[in-house]
């Protein structure tokens, strides 16, 4: 292997999941369900990035929103601290020192470490003065196949406090939360007019009590309408529905004085007279409330202080909001009206209190299934960085990149900018790479196929690669994308095989076959079954002439199409596609195979911009990888495929980017390792090569890694995965955010393919068969698996005496009846 | 001394100035003159924070604006790099990876170190592949007393390249600069409409040649109107007036291909046909040009590649723009019109080319005087951190905090937010603390007195503490500020004594005496010569009752007033002020001295908010310090003063803030050391103490440090200064930006007082006398000094044989004729 970048041990041993110290400032773990928005936990244990208001909003913090602890060891003075580790440099922010609404001047813990087994996050807080083990644990329920219970707008936040001293300790923990409902921004000095009327209530409703926030002046259809709640099941509570609001810093001063005195909160007066000339002008427009829980903890004892944070902002703009990238052909995609549509979750829950009621009433079940999923995922013999690649990118589904509208349709951006979505429309050529949703929530993935084929495909088979019709807008008027359109056919096949849902094919085949037929008439200009026309692609440019990128996807679509047409008894298409596949594949191979890899066949390349010609494209066999993943085998000569994918690794993987020249976006730099999008190992780099060609995309890196594993180059595949994840160390980048054109980029969900390939997992729920054939650690192997009907744990182990492998399957959710596993039925 | 925080060696040895490695991301050195705006040099050698458009703009970077080097050692392959050290983590920015207009994917140097002797900045760039010593040197002329030559909108940027190999090396350095004149923002995907018509020209005008940028579609009165230039005196140049602009990344790709091939630039076509569907939409709205210089460098030889960067944005909004802090009484201070007024520099120069012409024509003289100033300032026996405190805060004068309008009036914010000024109006109570301008550019400082007394003081003597009338607006309608108003009297005295300008007193005495008389009628409610009314102060609240903060300023004003009244033969005021000083001082002492320090005498304190009562206020003797600085001695009992200022150190200096509780803004946190604004060592902290009381302000820390030195507590004074500067290490904070309510905060210029106190410098240019009596390192001492007429170096040294001290004075600018120095006339 090239340079032996990593040792075998580094590549193959399980190892521990990463932990992140408080100075790992990029690390931010997203809480929140699918399509609900998020709040994140940083490595200091801080709450950050409040993205709950139906829009991405990286960096958005709520004023005076934090947890704090008061503790009094018997016979000693009390200690009060904010439940975060100390601030890390830099200490300056926008010319105001640190941000004062974060209360940077109050005591905090000396240090912290954050770790996660998705979807759980834990932060240990340490301080030499505090004679307790202090641990934050937080999660939002996440249960594959159970879409509703994975779409809850809230989070459970617990502090586990263990007394390791020899004295009894009185402990109080208070959560403070700002009511900012309807406010445009949360700047202390903001000139924004107050919107509506904020209302902070204390409610005691039997199983739950706590703070309930609304804004009574906002209409129910407004996108700013909503509610928030901070509640607990605990019996020992104190509270302050509203902080003093007489101006200046009176509110935090009064709260902190009160809390420090005995840990218990007095629900005191809010608006005494302001007595300074400027003071009244500095009254806050937001309202802070605090909820406290108190216990005494005996030596050696641990107590849990549990808070439930929920939110409910049911309405979102009835369009791809704020997609203002200034492309002239995109006039219909902007923020053209403020009509709203309901979020799926907005329909299910009445308000935030209702959400917290549901969470509390179902806590046992929700937590158990969530824990089952997490436990299986991490209790595996796969290397830690592989699990990280697979698990951490689930985050995309629960980030603002994705959402669900009232009718249940699942939609996605490509990624998100800091305060708006980035690249609208469930873009077919980017979602092509993503596998995670298809395997965890096939029901949601299928809604995307329905949009693609039955809403966005014309009668002549041309598919818009971004959906606008889903919002009642007109079809997006640009070129069709060959990769996205062909990929949709393969994805339809996959979704059919995962779910065993024959209705899916019956409902969509008519339009799916039109979409596939469209390739023959539109992209194959000379009828030789090799696409060679103007091929718009995921590189945001058009390739011309025969190339294996477009055509491997075309061939995979044909092969999947043959299967689906057979099922539909559509003989005509079976024949058409079979002939095309056979002849096209041979022809393409003869035109583009250069002995080492597949090139673009475009002799008059100087007449075009943005091509790759004789370059070695990392995605050159993406269609072939997709064929492997869905179980339809080779669509190009096996020996050429093997050699080509190895050439991709050989030429495009850089073990140090120091001297790499890339004028595009840079997702890896300096001494980092990465697989670049394209290289020209034999020279002939065009003067103006296609956009992005010197970049690196984690989604491509994962699909190539998966493909290398399928072709037997496991070392190389794992090397790529480890190279990617080494870059996400909490200092350089956020481990839960693989960025491409935007945060939480959809292409990164290609990583789920690693689980499929490494487990040798095959699925055909139409026939009722699944099987495993692990590629690594065969002698002791275990993995998570899922179909559209069930999920659980598969394990196998070699008997050291007999040398025989014994396998076992556990179903933790759903059922597997009538399914053959490794060619056997189980009870 | 408390805790012996620092050793004597740490406090008293000269030591080296700090250097900053490339990862010191906060370090940013501002280039630019007084009132011209800035561009900064970061520790990687990068150009950042383009604040040249008449507004603060921290974080604003120009697209594709950088210097790059191409070098070819004889017989070897060429190397091309951007002249910056490598990017440092984090690598993510707003969901787009690093910012692609910074070209993060191109090779850079391995490491860098930045150092500065103000106003020069140097960055060494190191790379294992580059066989050269590469040094960036940059500066903008800065010559005390020469206001015009210190107000030039531009900078000299030189790369000194020394060949340390044994082969000849061909070297080319190119500067690339974006023309963004008139563009609202510089976002690649911005929807902003193009404004006007950008024009990039190449000009060859004899002594200078290079790029000249304008926008021909903007009216001459518009605030966006202006020009930029990048020129050189070098004879060996190549250039590209405009990069290719066909869309996507074609421009940078084409530039980089061209530059890498042979280091020389071809001025090629700009707009070939765009051939991609999206490409034409991605054409940039800005225009990039590049200017290259090439030389070959023999082994051992050094060559200098000099660039002159200039800008000219002559018009600014005729008001305090964007001061939108939402205070209701401030309705007249917002962005209420777009009428413009000329910058002072806008009158002096025609355009950016004119500026570069002036710089080049006067280079020798400008550089020599600038160097003289810098050399004296650093060639001193004062400790390095003291010089740093003094020198680095000069930056405030040359930041966007300060500006000059057409008629020459100098104006200032309190500080700046990231993209707007913060707290308008040359606020008298903040400028009170600043000494730097008064000693370096007394002519400018005097314009502030003229505004205060002859524009903003009513007939009854009430002075607005923020000026709006200077822009033709109505007077600011709020309470008068006792501290600012009294301080202005002392400052008038100071400015008279520094300059010897009797006309200043003659012009202003009438109103100055009214302003002082106003205190008797407005703040002294019972006629006992102790101010006790509603005293609005720099803490943004009103103190009530007798306190030494307001009254020490009142007494200093009285004492200065007596001198000025005497000069004006205004007997009546001499008598009035003398009586008030004598009686008031005694009375105040009797009311507020608690045996250790001066308290606030307010028995019914619970009837008020925001007071300090029995607290120990750091600024309690600010008026006394001011009296020392201007040479008028004690205004309160000497023994009490001494004890009180030491109590301030004793009680308010915290050598570790870990357990400090501060709900306000935090300018020092964690384990940092700082002097807090107030403490309550004897308890009795009010429930709602005055705003900011637990904060720390560098300006207060400096004034207290200076005062400690005056009272003989030199260890303590130096400890405070070192504590401050330790906090500005390039990681936590920018060493050239002491923040309080805004960047480059005016109060920080209190640090110049350290130079006065440590040198024992006294000045009375009315009498024609200056003298020195160094407090530290007397046996070998040297310092910079200045009057309104001259500046230079003072040094003294003890003859080791005779034990006698011999002193020497050098005049480097202006003249000192008829001035007695240390009681002698020199020739």
| DSSP state string for B143-165 | -TT-TGGG--SEEEEEEEEEE-S
Task: Report the pLDDT value the prediction gives residue A688, as an integer from 0 to 100.
Answer: 86
Of B107, B281, B608, the CB nearest to A658: B107
Question: In chain B, which residues have their Cβ closer than 8 Å to the Cβ of A743?
Answer: 95
Q: Is B818 helix (H, G, I), strand (E, B) or coil?
A: coil
Q: Is residue B331's pLDDT more than 50?
A: no
B116-166 confidence digits (pLDDT tens) = 999 999 999 999 999 999 999 999 999 999 999 999 999 999 999 999 999
Task: Report the pLDDT value the prediction gives residue B540, as an integer from 0 to 100.
Answer: 94
DSSP string for residues in A455-469: TSB-TTS-B-SS--G
Tokens at B168, concatenated: 């000849």
Q: Is B703 helix (H, G, I), strand (E, B) or coil?
A: helix
Nearest to A423 by CA among A411, A435, A408, A434: A411
Task: Report the pLDDT value the prediction gives residue B92, as an integer from 0 to 100.
Answer: 75
* Residue B330 pLDDT class (50, 70, 90 cuts): very low
Task: Report the pLDDT value the prediction gives residue A334, as an integer from 0 to 100.
Answer: 43
B612-622 confidence digits (pLDDT tens) = 999 999 999 99
Tokens at A618, concatenated: 């990392």
B376-422 confidence digits (pLDDT tens) = 999 999 999 999 999 999 999 999 999 999 999 999 999 998 888 88
More confident residue, B688 or A217: A217
Q: Is residue A235's pLDDT more than 50?
A: yes
Q: Find, in chain A, the residue whose alpha carbon is nearest to that of B282.
A: A327
Chain-chain contact of B739 with A324 (C-beta, under 8 angstroms): no
Q: Is residue A469's pLDDT more than 80?
A: yes
Question: In chain B, which residues have their Cβ closer than 8 Å to the Cβ of A726?
Answer: none
Task: Report the pLDDT value the prediction gives residue A189, as an integer from 0 to 100.
Answer: 46
Judge whether B106 and B83 are in contact, CB under 8 Å. no
**Strands, E assignment, A254-335:** 287-297, 302-312, 315-317
Task: Report the pLDDT value the prediction gives residue A275, as an integer from 0 to 100.
Answer: 62
Per-residue pLDDT, averaged over A602-614, amounts to 92
Q: The complex's ipTM?
A: 0.94
Measured in angstroms, the CA of B91 and the nearest CA of chain A are apart by: 5
Q: Is residue A403's pLDDT more than 90?
A: yes
Neighbours of B638 (CB within 10 A): 11
- The rounded distance, in Å, linking the Cα atoms of B717 and B709 is 6
Task: Report the pLDDT value the prediction gives residue A95, as an integer from 0 to 100.
Answer: 57
Chain-chain contact of A665 with B540 (C-beta, under 8 angstroms): no
Tokens at B189, concatenated: 């995907």
Task: Report the pLDDT value the prediction gives residue A339, as an integer from 0 to 100.
Answer: 84
Name the range with the highest mean pLDDT among A242-256, A313-327, B296-310.
B296-310
Q: Is residue A327's pLDDT more than 70?
A: no
Question: In chain A, which residues have their Cβ closer than 8 Å to the Cβ of B737?
Answer: 92
- The distance from CA A460 to its chain's CA centroid, rounded to whole angstroms, is 35
Q: What is the mean pLDDT of chain B?
A: 94
Task: Report the pLDDT value the prediction gives residue B326, as an integer from 0 to 100.
Answer: 39
- The rounded distance, in Å, linking the Cα atoms of B408 and A514 is 75
Chain-chain contact of A107 with B659 (C-beta, under 8 angstroms): yes
Q: Which of A245, A250, A271, A276 should one mutate to test binding to chain B, selecting the residue with the greatest count of B CBs within 10 A?
A: A276
Task: Report the pLDDT value the prediction gives residue A727, as an integer from 0 to 100.
Answer: 97
Q: Find, in chain A, the residue whose alpha carbon is nearest to that of B480.
A: A277
Question: In chain B, which residues have their Cβ closer than 8 Å to the Cβ of A250?
Answer: 609, 688
Nearest to A769 by CA among A809, A796, A806: A809
Q: Which of B55, B85, B253, B544 should one mutate to test binding to chain A, selecting the residue with the greatest count of A CBs within 10 A?
A: B253
Nearest to A363 by CA among A102, A167, A155: A155
DSSP B667: S
* Residue A325 pLDDT class (50, 70, 90 cuts): very low
Question: In chain B, which residues have their Cβ closer than 8 Å to the Cβ of A249?
Answer: 663-664, 691
Nearest to B491 by CA among B447, B538, B438, B532: B438
Measured in angstroms, the CA of B657 and the nearest CA of chain A are apart by: 9
Establish, for the pair of chains A and B, how many residue pairs have beta carbons separated by less than 8 Å. 257
Judge whether A541 and A690 are in contact, CB under 8 Å. yes
Judge whether A586 and A635 are in contact, CB under 8 Å. no
- The rounded distance, in Å, linking the Cα atoms of A625 and A708 is 9
Of A90, A189, A663, the CB nearest to B249: A663
Q: Is residue A632's pLDDT more than 50?
A: yes
Q: Output the CA torsion sign for B667, B669, B672, B673.
A: positive
Task: Report the pLDDT value the prediction gives residue A96, as an integer from 0 to 100.
Answer: 55
Q: What is the pTM of this model?
A: 0.96
Percentage of chain B with pLDDT > 90? Answer: 87
Task: Report the pLDDT value the prediction gives residue A202, as an integer from 0 to 100.
Answer: 97
Q: What is the mean pLDDT of chain A?
A: 94
Name beta bridge partners: A342: A315
- The rounded distance, in Å, linking the Cα atoms of B267 and B239 is 6
Cis ω before A90 (30° cut-off from 0): yes
Measured in angstroms, the CA of A146 and the nearest CA of chain B are apart by: 30
A505-538 confidence digits (pLDDT tens) = 999 999 999 999 999 999 999 999 999 999 999 9
Neighbours of B749 (CB within 10 A): 31
Q: Is residue A703's pLDDT more than 70?
A: yes
Chain-chain contact of A275 with B731 (C-beta, under 8 angstroms): no
Q: Is residue A278's pLDDT more than 80?
A: no
B237-280 confidence digits (pLDDT tens) = 999 999 999 888 999 999 999 999 999 999 987 776 656 666 76
Measured in angstroms, the CA of A685 and the nearest CA of chain B are apart by: 11
Nearest to A734 by CA among A49, A15, A36: A49
Percentage of chain A with pLDDT > 90? Answer: 87
Per-residue pLDDT, averaged over B100-104, amounts to 92
Task: Report the pLDDT value the prediction gives residue B98, as an integer from 0 to 100.
Answer: 63
- The rounded distance, in Å, linking the Cα atoms of B409 and B328 is 28
């Amino acid at each position: 292997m090239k340079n032996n970048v990593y040792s075998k041990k580094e590549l193959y041993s399980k190892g521990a999941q990463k932990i992140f110290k408080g100075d790992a400032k990029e690390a931010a773990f997203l809480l929140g369900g699918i399509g609900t928005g998020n709040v994140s936990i940083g490595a200091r244990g801080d709450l950050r990035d409040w993205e709950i208001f139906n829009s991405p909003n990286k960096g958005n913090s709520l004023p005076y929103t934090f947890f704090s602890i008061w503790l009094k060891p018997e016979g000693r003075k009390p200690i009060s601290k904010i439940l975060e580790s100390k601030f890390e440099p830099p200490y300056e922010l926008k010319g105001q020192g640190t941000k004062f609404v974060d209360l940077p001047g109050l005591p905090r813990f000396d240090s912290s470490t954050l770790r996660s087994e998705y979807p759980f996050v834990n932060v240990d807080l340490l301080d030499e003065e505090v004679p307790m083990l202090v641990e934050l644990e937080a999660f939002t329920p996440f249960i594959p196949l159970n879409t509703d219970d994975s779409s809850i707008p809230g989070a459970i936040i617990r502090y586990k406090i263990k007394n390791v001293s020899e004295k009894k300790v009185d402990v109080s923990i208070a959560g403070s939360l700002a009511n900012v409902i309807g406010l445009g921004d949360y700047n202390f000095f903001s000139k924004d007019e107050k919107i509506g009327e904020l209302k902070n209530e204390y409610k005691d409703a039997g199983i739950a009590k706590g703070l309930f926030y609304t804004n009574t002046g906002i209409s129910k259809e407004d996108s700013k309408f909503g509610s928030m709640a901070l509640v607990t099941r605990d019996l020992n509570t104190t509270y302050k529905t509203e902080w003093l609001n007489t101006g200046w810093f009176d509110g935090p001063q009064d709260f902190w004085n009160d809390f420090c005195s005995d840990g218990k909160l007095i629900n005191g007066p809010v608006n005494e007279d302001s007595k300074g000339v400027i003071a009244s002008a500095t009254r806050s427009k937001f309202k802070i409330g605090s909820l406290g829980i108190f216990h005494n903890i005996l030596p050696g004892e641990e107590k849990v202080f549990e808070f439930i944070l929920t939110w409910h902002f049911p309405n979102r703009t009835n369009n791809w909001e704020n997609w203002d990238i200034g492309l002239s052909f995109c006039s219909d995609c902007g923020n053209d009206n403020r009509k709203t549509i309901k979020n799926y979750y907005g329909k299910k829950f009445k308000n935030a209190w209702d959400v917290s009621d549901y969470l509390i009433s179902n806590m046992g079940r929700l937590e158990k299934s969530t824990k089952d999923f997490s436990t299986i995922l991490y209790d595996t013999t796969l290397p830690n960085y592989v699990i990280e690649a697979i698990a951490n990118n689930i985050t995309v589904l629960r980030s603002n990149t994705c959402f669900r509208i009232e009718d249940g349709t699942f939609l996605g951006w490509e990624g998100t900018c800091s305060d708006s979505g980035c690249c609208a429309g469930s873009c077919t050529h980017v979602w092509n790479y993503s596998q995670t949703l298809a395997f965890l929530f096939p029901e949601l993935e299928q809604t995307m196929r329905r949009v693609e084929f039955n809403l966005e495909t014309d009668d002549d088979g041309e598919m818009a690669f971004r959906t606008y019709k889903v919002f009642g807008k007109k079809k997006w008027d640009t070129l069709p994308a060959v990769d996205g359109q062909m990929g949709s056919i393969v994805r339809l096949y996959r979704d059919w095989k995962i779910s065993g849902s024959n209705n899916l094919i019956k409902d969509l085949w008519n339009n799916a076959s039109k979409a596939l037929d469209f390739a023959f008439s539109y992209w194959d200009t000379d009828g030789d079954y090799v696409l060679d026309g103007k091929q718009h692609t995921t590189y945001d440019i058009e390739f011309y002439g025969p190339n294996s990128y477009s055509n491997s996807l075309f061939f995979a679509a044909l092969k999947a199409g043959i299967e689906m047409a057979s099922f539909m008894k559509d003989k005509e298409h079976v024949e058409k596609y079979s002939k095309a596949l056979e002849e096209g594949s041979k022809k393409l191979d003869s035109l583009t195979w250069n002995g080492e890899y597949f090139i673009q066949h475009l002799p008059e390349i100087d007449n075009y911009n943005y091509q790759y010609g004789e370059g070695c494209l990392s995605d050159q066999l993406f269609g072939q990888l997709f064929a492997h993943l869905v179980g339809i085998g080779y669509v190009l000569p096996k020996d050429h495929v093997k050699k080509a994918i190895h050439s991709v690794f050989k030429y495009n993987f850089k073990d140090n980017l120091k001297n790499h020249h890339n004028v595009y976006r840079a997702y890896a730099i300096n001494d980092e390792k990465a697989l670049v999008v394209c290289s020209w190992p034999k020279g002939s780099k065009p003067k103006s090569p296609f956009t992005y060609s010197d970049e690196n995309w984690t989604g491509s890196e994962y699909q190539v890694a998966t493909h290398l594993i399928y072709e037997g180059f496991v070392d190389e595949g794992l090397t790529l995965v480890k190279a990617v994840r080494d870059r996400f160390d909490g200092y350089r980048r956020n481990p839960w955010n693989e960025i491409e054109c935007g945060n939480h980029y959809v292409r990164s969900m290609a990583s789920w393919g690693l689980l499929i390939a490494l487990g040798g997992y095959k699925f055909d729920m139409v026939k009722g068969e699944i099987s495993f054939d692990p590629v690594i650690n065969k002698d002791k192997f275990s993995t998570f698996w899922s179909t559209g009907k069930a999920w659980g744990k598969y394990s196998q182990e070699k008997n050291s005496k007999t040398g025989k492998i014994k396998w076992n399957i556990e179903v933790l959710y759903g059922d597997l009846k009538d399914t053959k596993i490794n060619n056997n039925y189980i009870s």
